[in-house]
Amino acid sequence: MYPAELVKPMREDLASAGFEELYTAETVEKAINQEGTTLVVVNSVCGCAAANARPAAKLSLQNDKRPEHLVTVFAGVDTEAVDAARNLMVPFPPSSPSMALFKNGELVHMIERHHIEGRPAEMIAENLTEAYNEFC
């Protein structure tokens, strides 16, 4: 588990953009299963989260259509919440960072770590906005 002071700025990066931090399985299940669209970002301490995933998630929110609910869980810190989110992302294997779009509790779009590593934030944001345009 990572120390709180290490992950604090990484948490704040998404929280300042309107993402609600989730810490328990119950809050994850409630957030994902609510009516409407929910973007879940599995945050991470890795470099690709800082350089690609978090900037892409924030950039994607500039789209006219966007998810109604924005939530995040932190891999390596919020184990219960991350496990609950990943259970709802099956059949995709666990990866962090990652992003999943749910509509009325159903997984409709997934971006895994291998879609994030080595790709610019703008390309990832474009992938997300295409999903928003289709599902939001």
pLDDT digits (tens, 9 = 90+) for 107-116: 999 999 999 9
pLDDT digits (tens, 9 = 90+) for 3-21: 888 889 999 999 999 999 9
Task: State the chain's mean pLDDT as an integer.
Answer: 96
pLDDT for 47 beyond 90: no
Provide the CB-side half-sphere exposure for 52 (13 A, CA).
Answer: 23
The pTM (predicted TM-score) of the whole model is 0.95
Which sequence positions are flagged as catalytic?
A: 46, 48
pLDDT for 1 beyond 80: no
Percent of the chain surpassing pLDDT 70: 100
